[in-house]
């Protein structure tokens, strides 16, 4: 089994987390462990059930087969869940401060897969690398100075209008608001340079 991926849930976004063993008691997280999906719910969280349900459906869209989602209230984690992390712990610190700090780093490039759930747009963070781009998907690459909407040749473009994506992404974005649309196979050199192989290491280098 590959390493588990942890997502911090806020409305409209699933944010990849580097501190994979630290779970804030006021937060909620999705954990993708390949053949197991977990929803960890902090004891002091205030996220609406509707939002949690949508977040779970976003992650299920990434699976070829139907996988049961296991809901884990804080304090009721099974041994197999704890063993996914070398230092599992519940903390009083929320992931929100990390999210705010990363959002203000001008040098960070971030890539998001666009999902649509119940008519609403969600953004799931993926590594900012070329291999993350899939022909059947639509992605947003944010390089701070501008952001790009990349559309795969097999993507359902009619169902995901660029302006709807822009409004959904721009609402939470810090920085200049300059957007370009890139079609698969017609990417600019500027766009290609925005995808770097070691980006994830840079993003989490101070953690």
Residue that is last in its domain, among 43, 69, 95? 95
Whether 171 and 88 share a structural domain: no
If residue 68 lies in a helix (H) or strand (E), which one and from where to where?
none
> 49-74: per-residue pLDDT in tens?
999 999 999 999 999 888 899 999 99
Whether 89 and 44 share a structural domain: yes
Q: Cβ contacts of residue 181 below 8 Å, gap of 6+?
A: 148, 149, 151, 162
Q: What is the CATH number of the domain that holds 181?
A: 3.40.20.10
Whether 153 and 176 share a structural domain: yes
> 115-137: per-residue pLDDT in tens?
999 999 999 999 999 999 999 99
Q: How far apart are CA 74 and CA 10, in angstroms?
A: 18
User: Could you write out the three-class secondary structure of 75-133?
Assistant: CCCCHHHHCCCCCCEEECCCCHHHHHHHHCCCCCCEEEEEEEECCEEEEEEECCCHHHC
Structurally, the chain folds into a number of domains equal to 2
Q: What is the pLDDT of residue 9?
A: 96
Q: What is the pLDDT of residue 64?
A: 83
Whether 64 and 117 share a structural domain: no
Residue that is last in its domain, among 95, 122, 153? 95
pLDDT interval class at 100 (50, 70, 90): confident
How big is the chain, counted in residues?
207
Whether 19 and 49 share a structural domain: yes
Whether 121 and 182 share a structural domain: yes
Whether 86 and 111 share a structural domain: no
Whether 120 and 174 share a structural domain: yes
> 153-205: per-residue pLDDT in tens?
999 888 888 888 988 887 666 666 788 999 999 999 999 988 875 544 455 44
Residue that is last in its domain, among 72, 95, 118? 95
Q: What is the pLDDT of residue 170?
A: 75
- Which ranges constitute the DSSP H helices of the chain? 49-60, 79-82, 96-103, 162-170, 189-193, 199-203
Whether 135 and 168 share a structural domain: yes
Q: What's the whole-model pTM score?
A: 0.87
Whether 170 and 193 share a structural domain: yes
Residue 159 belongs to what domain range?
104-203
Whether 54 and 132 share a structural domain: no
Whether 193 and 120 share a structural domain: yes
């Amino acid at each position: 089994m590959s390493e588990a991926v942890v997502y911090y849930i806020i409305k409209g976004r699933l944010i990849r987390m580097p501190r994979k063993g630290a779970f804030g008691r006021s937060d909620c997280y999705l954990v993708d462990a390949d053949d197991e999906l977990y929803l960890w719910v902090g004891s002091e969280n205030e996220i609406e059930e509707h939002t949690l349900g949508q977040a779970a459906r976003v992650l299920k869209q990434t699976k070829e087969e139907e996988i049961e989602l296991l809901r884990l209230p804080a304090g009721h984690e099974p041994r197999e869940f704890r063993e996914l992390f070398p230092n599992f712990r519940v903390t009083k610190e929320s992931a929100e401060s990390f999210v705010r700090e990363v959002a203000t780093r001008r040098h960070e490039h971030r890539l998001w897969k666009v999902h649509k759930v119940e008519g609403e747009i969600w953004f799931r963070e993926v590594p900012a690398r070329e291999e993350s781009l899939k022909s059947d998907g639509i992605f947003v690459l944010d390089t701070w100075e501008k952001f790009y909407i990349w559309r795969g040749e097999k993507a359902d473009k009619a169902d995901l209008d660029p302006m709807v994506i822009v409004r959904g992404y721009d609402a939470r974005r810090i920085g200049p608001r300059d957007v370009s649309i890139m079609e698969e196979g017609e990417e600019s050199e500027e766009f290609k340079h925005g995808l770097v192989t070691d980006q994830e290491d840079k993003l989490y280098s101070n953690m």
